[in-house]
Amino acid sequence: MNEYDSALVRSILAPHGFQSCASAQDAEVILVNTCAVRENAYRKIYGLLDKLRPLKKQKKSFVVGVLGCMAQNLKEELLAHPVVSLVVGPDNYRSLPGLIEQSITSGDCGIDADLSEYETYSDIAPARVEGVNAWVAIMRGCDNFCTFCVVPYTRGRERSRSVADILDEVRAAAAAGFPQVTLLGQNVNSYSDRDGSFADLIVRVADVPAIRRVRFTSPHPKDFPDDLLEAIAAHPNICKHVHLPLQAGNDRILGLMGRNYTRREFVGLAERIRDRIPGVSLTTDIIVGFPTETEGEFLETFKVMENLAFDSAFIFKYSERKGTIASRKFADDVPPDSKTDRIVRLFDLQKRISSDKNRARIGSLEAVLIEGPAEKKPDHQVGKSDGGTTVIFPATPEAPGSFARVRIREASSTTLYGEAM
């Protein structure tokens, strides 16, 4: 979402004469787009701001702005940092040109971080960087208030863009040469427009000529409709990949998290998805060490992950976020060592499962959307399978954005290796 928002910001700034430059040293203005979901995201940003201190001293005119969720959440606290001149929240990017200008001309500092119920930036065409994937935000904000999560406070109320505006943006991305779009929302299943539901929207996106692949993230497990499963199953260019965040496998913890589903309902949904979409790649998010989580309750999460055997998983330690329901109601009482121990056990389990699953694909033929040269092997190309796994193979004459049919010869827990046929 931040990559998408950065593309909107580039587009908002371009008509005012701002251009991207290659290094911080050359820049007159540095804008840092931030995340607030976990504490380590904060630490990274403060580390980066500290690194900018010498430049601030050297340069006469130097404006540093912090954008995004951390800006929305911390406001004055961020402005107190000696290098920061501007703090601008996710719904206020339109005011950036004026604020920057003012800061350059009169050295003013400023905060604009008022959440809006309406802002969707739908009239702004994002200035995307090159690549094969175009992120397309179909909605902004979130109304779910999962108790651990800061997003409803930093991105505000949920609002959907119109089907017509989204289709215009997808057509523009296709015309600009992007073969893949990824539709983004905090809970895509609650997308709603008078012209249709998320299932209606994704089908219309898949029908846009020259769009070879459609991905989406994330659906919430509490309301996964059958027509979406049918849409994925029926459309060859909608990738067979569903990212379904479980968070925890114990019902008491799921209740405290405010997730609105039980373990049994989640497992039933995962089985329904696998039944309706044969070969689907199912991935998830997990939080370990939510307040009061016992070892026994953690083991239930372990068991669900073992039984469901996700293709891959993002696993996080619970990170208390200021202002969230959990931070007000519960003490962050699982000791750091226990959080570490639990996350390591889940990493090990998932690594074993992902390795087994990837090894089972040795010998198969995968359709790979080529992204470019492989980073560590310049004579190889890298791309993604339909399910989203990274595939590396000796370079073909095909350019990024084309498809290669790759016979898989080797596999690790994260990557498939093969040769193009």
Max Cα separation, the chain? Answer: 65
Residue 35 binding ligand SF4, by CB under 6 A:
no
Chain residues in the site for ligand SAM (CB under 6 A)? 37-38, 148-149, 151, 186-187, 218, 220, 245, 247, 285, 287, 316, 318-319, 321
Of 287 and 304, CB closest to ligand SAM: 287
Distance (Å, whole) CA 104 – CA 62: 7
Name the minimum Å distance from CB 290 to ligand SAM: 8
> Which one of ligand SAM, ligand SF4, none interacts with residue 354, CB within 5 to 8 A by kind?
none
Which entry of ligand SAM, ligand SF4, none binds 201, CB below 5 to 8 A by partner kind? Answer: none
93-101, 128-136, 144-152, 159-167 -> range binding ligand SF4 (CB under 6 A): 144-152
Q: Residue 149 or 202: which CB sits closer to ligand SAM?
A: 149
Do residues 172 and 197 make contact, with C-beta atoms less than 8 angstroms apart?
A: no
Judged by beta carbon distances under 5 to 8 A according to partner kind, the member of ligand SF4, ligand SAM, none in contact with residue 46 is none
142 contacts ligand SF4 (rule: CB under 6 A): yes
Q: How far is the CB of 336 from ligand SAM (least distance, A)?
A: 13
Strand partners, 182: 135, 215
Among 34, 133, 186, 197, binds ligand SF4 (CB under 6 A): 186
Among 145, 225, 333, 399, binds ligand SF4 (CB under 6 A): 145
Sheet holding 241-243, edge to edge: 241-243, 281-288, 312-317
Q: How far is the CB of 371 from ligand SF4 (least distance, A)?
A: 27
Residue 220 CB, nearest approach to ligand SAM (Å): 5
Which amino acid does the sequence have at 96? L
Which amino acid makes up residue 223?
D
What is the smallest separation between the CB atom of 153 and ligand SAM, expressed in angstroms? 11
Residue 152 touches which of ligand SAM, ligand SF4, none (Cβ within 5-8 Å per kind): ligand SF4
Provide the 10 A C-beta neighbour count for residue 273: 21
Q: Which of residues 360-379 bind ligand SF4 (CB under 6 A)?
A: none
Q: Which stretch binds ligand SF4 (CB under 6 A): 11-19, 58-66, 130-138, 139-147?
A: 139-147
CA proximity to 69, closest of 2, 9, 13, 3:
2
Is the CB of 38 or the CB of 407 nearer to ligand SAM?
38
Contact between 254 and 262 (Cβ < 8 Å): yes
Q: Please, which residue, 145 or 347, has the CB nearer to ligand SF4?
A: 145
Q: How far is CA 264 from the centre of its chain?
A: 26
Smallest distance, ligand SF4 to C-beta of residue 184, A: 11
Q: Which of residues 149-168 bind ligand SF4 (CB under 6 A)?
A: 149, 151-152
**Contact partner at residue 72 from ligand SF4, ligand SAM, none, CB < 5 to 8 Å by partner kind:** none
Window 208-267: residues binding ligand SF4 (CB under 6 A): 220
Q: Which is nearer to ligand SAM, 37 or 299 (CB)?
A: 37
Is the separation of the CB atoms in 325 and 147 below 8 Å?
Answer: yes
Helix axes 295-308, 263-276, angle to 10 degrees: 10
The minimum distance between CB 240 and ligand SF4, in angstroms, equals: 23
Comparison of 126 and 245: residue with beta carbon closer to ligand SAM: 245
**What is the rounded CA–CA span in Å between residue 220 and residue 190?**
9
- How many residues in the shown chain lie near ligand SF4 by CB under 6 A? 10
Closest contact distance (angstroms) between CB of 2 and ligand SF4 is 14
Burial readout 85-112 (b: 16 or more C-beta within 10 A, e: otherwise): bbbbbbbbbbbbbebbebbeeeeeebbb
Q: Which residues bind ligand SF4 (CB under 6 A)?
A: 142, 144-146, 149, 151-152, 186-187, 220
